[in-house]
Amino acid sequence: MLKQLRNKKTARWIWIGLAILVLPAFVFWGLGSAVKSRDKNQPSLAGRIFDRPISFPEYKDAYEAVRNQAVMQLGDNFSQMQQYLNLDSQAWERLTLLAEAKKRRISASNQEIIELIAGYPFFQRRGKFNDRLYEETIKYVFHTQSRIFEEQIRQSIIISKLFQQITNSLTISPEEVKQEYRKVNEQVSINYIAALPVDFENKEASVSEEALKQYYEANKLEFKQPLTFNLEYITSESRDKIESLLPHLNKKDYFNKLVKDAGLALKETGYFNETSPIPGIGWAPQVLELLVKSKTGQFLPVISVDKNYYLLKIKERKEPYIPEFGQIKDKVKDVYIKNQARKTAKAKIEECLMNLKNIAAKNPRAADLNNQAKISGLKSGATGLFKYGSYIEGIGSSDIFWQEAERLKDDEFSPIIEQPSGYYIIKVKSIQPIDENKFKEEASEFTQRLLLNKKQHEFELFLEGLLKKTQRF
């Protein structure tokens, strides 16, 4: 225990939020219950990092540490937000970063821990560290001992130092700042020609069976069915009710009687695939991840989803497969028609672009998009002002259109822009530039935010590389 902390009356605030911020957000999947449900028959190791074995106690300590970080960061909102946090993944990231920091001999002193803890507002009364408040918060909010909490803080400081070591050399140029500021604030509007595949689909068209068979044989993987499951499950708002059943999982008749006596019901999901929400439960990435690794007839650890607890069993599991042509003939036809329509749309707009280039070669101002669209049998239109990162009604994401508009000069038209919705050629209609005076006022703060984003991105890439050396059991 850091006894010096009890006697320290004042301390400066040290911000190490980066130790939290650099860890990506994932979807929470109630692994706490899964951790607690491990039995004596399971292996003693949770995984390996850099070929070093990681015990379950080590993993559990990391899990509790990231949970406490989330409580510190979110405060009273933790209970509402916990479903959006994947504490399991964050625990492994923490262990991996600490292993890397150890290799680099990064450490944190007791004094650094004292100053950081004393600076947390939730341990202060009237602006000063309060010993009693600290002890009560550690006990009743974090449900841990001060010695353990202080070690967690030491580790967070070490991770923050690793972050600084990896990212301190990064800089951002004035040109990058200006360009990114323009992306956030500059607005453009465009005129466009659109070749939409949906306009060329003819679902009543006669397609020979031979043509469909040839398409199927050449594109079989396109029709591959994903891994699918059918689950039996019991759900309750009471965790105790669910866990009272666990010792009797292998006694089928007695188990079913206990379920009934508890006022519960054994339900069935029906078939669903590994990328879909679970019928009756909803989106539960934690379940899907466990299912992929589990076998038919196997019970999964108790999990919580949206304040309910679930005990699930894999009743049936179907491995990925490619259906025979006769089973999916109608689907093959639908895909074939869509594919042909996209080819037609692309050919039409390529011809249109060629005509525009021929006209522009003689007189750039004569290349009229509306007129050429009519000649080519394509649609044309115009947008209102939009920003980078917004949505253009009827078209989709604005990013590529904003970027192309930025590159175009007066009377220039773009090359073909391919989007999921179809193919486009654009011209700039108008530009609403940034306010230069406002940019000067906001440039300093904007640069800091941009540099922080750049550092976080760099650190995330660094972490991704480290995680490739992590093996979870």
* Span 433-449, pLDDT tens digits: 999 999 999 999 999 99
User: Mean pLDDT over residues 332-346, rounded?
Assistant: 95
CB 269 within 8 Å of CB 231: yes
- Comparing 296 with 35, the larger pLDDT belongs to 296
Instruction: With beta carbons less than 8 A apart as the criterion, state whether 19 and 163 touch.
Output: yes
**For residue 451, what pLDDT band results from cuts at 50, 70 and 90?**
very high
Which token pair is 372? 């050429």
How confident is residue 23, by pLDDT bands cut at 50, 70 and 90?
very low
Q: Residue 251 is encoded by which pair of tokens? A: 């006694």
Rounded Cα gap, residues 133 and 125, in angstroms: 8
Beta strand residue intervals within 301-413, DSSP E: 303-305, 308-318, 379-382, 386-387, 391-392, 396-397
Q: Which residues pair with 317 in a beta bridge?
A: 229
Strands 391-392 and 386-387: unpaired
Rounded Cα distance between 375 and 356, Å, is 11
Q: What is the pLDDT of residues 85-120, one digit of tens each?
A: 888 889 999 999 999 999 999 999 999 999 999 999
pLDDT of 20 reads 36
C-alpha to C-alpha distance for 147 and 2, rounded to whole angstroms: 7
CATH class of 187-219+326-432: alpha beta
Asked which of 131-135, 237-241, 410-414 is least confident by mean pLDDT, the reply is 237-241
pLDDT at 399 over 80: yes
Residues with Cβ within 8 Å of 201's Cβ and at least 6 positions away in sequence, in order, are 337, 338, 341
Give CA–CA dist 266/335, Å, rounded: 39
CB atoms inside a 10 Å sphere around CB 312? 26
Rounded CA-CA distance 118/13 in Å is 8
DSSP, residue by residue, 140-187: HTS-S-HHHHHHHHHHHHHHHHHHHHHHTT----HHHHHHHHHHHH-E
Which residue bears the tokens 């708002």? 237
Distance between alpha carbon 83 and the CA centroid of its chain, in Å?
13
Per-residue pLDDT, 473: 65
Report how far apart, in Å, the C-alpha atoms of 74 and of each of 65, 68, 138 are. Answer: 14, 10, 16
Q: 224: which DSSP letter?
A: P
Q: Which of 1-5, 273-277, 320-324, 387-391 has the lowest mean pLDDT?
A: 1-5
Cα gap 180→167, rounded to integer Å = 20
How do the domains of the chain map onto residue ranges? 4-169+456-472, 187-219+326-432, 225-318
At residue 277's C-alpha, the angle toward residues 274 and 280, to 5°, is 125
Comparing 111-125, 146-160, 196-210, 248-262, the range with the smallest average pLDDT is: 248-262
Q: What is the DSSP letter of 124?
A: E
Spatial neighbors of 399 by CB under 8 A, at least 6 apart, are: 388, 389
Same CATH fold, 225-318 and 187-219+326-432? yes
CATH of the domain spanning 4-169+456-472, picked from 1.10.3470, 1.10.260, 1.20.120, 1.10.4030: 1.10.4030
Which amino acid is located at 367 in the chain? A
Residue with tokens 């950081």: 116
Burial category of 278 from C-beta neighbours within 10 Å (exposed 0-12, middle 13-18, buried 19 and up): buried
Mean of pLDDT values over 293-317: 87
285-291 mean pLDDT: 80
List own/partner pairs for 451-459 with CB under 8 A and 24 or more apart: 451/170, 451/171, 451/172, 454/170, 454/172, 455/163, 455/167, 455/170, 456/18, 456/21, 456/22, 458/166, 458/167, 458/170, 459/22, 459/163, 459/166, 459/167
Average pLDDT rounded to a whole number, residues 211-219? 95
Q: Are 70 and 28 in contact (CB under 8 A)?
A: no
Mean pLDDT of 188-195: 97
Fold of the 225-318 domain: Chitinase A; domain 3 (3.10.50)
What's the whole-model pTM score? 0.69
> Pick from 76, 47, 78, 51: which is nearest to 60 by CA?
47
Q: Per mean pLDDT, which range of 62-71, 72-81, 204-213, 293-302 is the poorest?
A: 72-81
Cβ(350)–Cβ(416) below 8 Å: yes
Give residue-wise pLDDT tens across range 147-174: 999 999 999 999 999 999 999 999 999 9
Place of tokens 């209609």: 429
CA-CA distances (angstroms) from residue 273 to 228, 270, 285, 310, 315? 4, 10, 12, 19, 14
Q: Looking at residue 72, what is its pLDDT?
A: 87
AA identity, residue 360: A
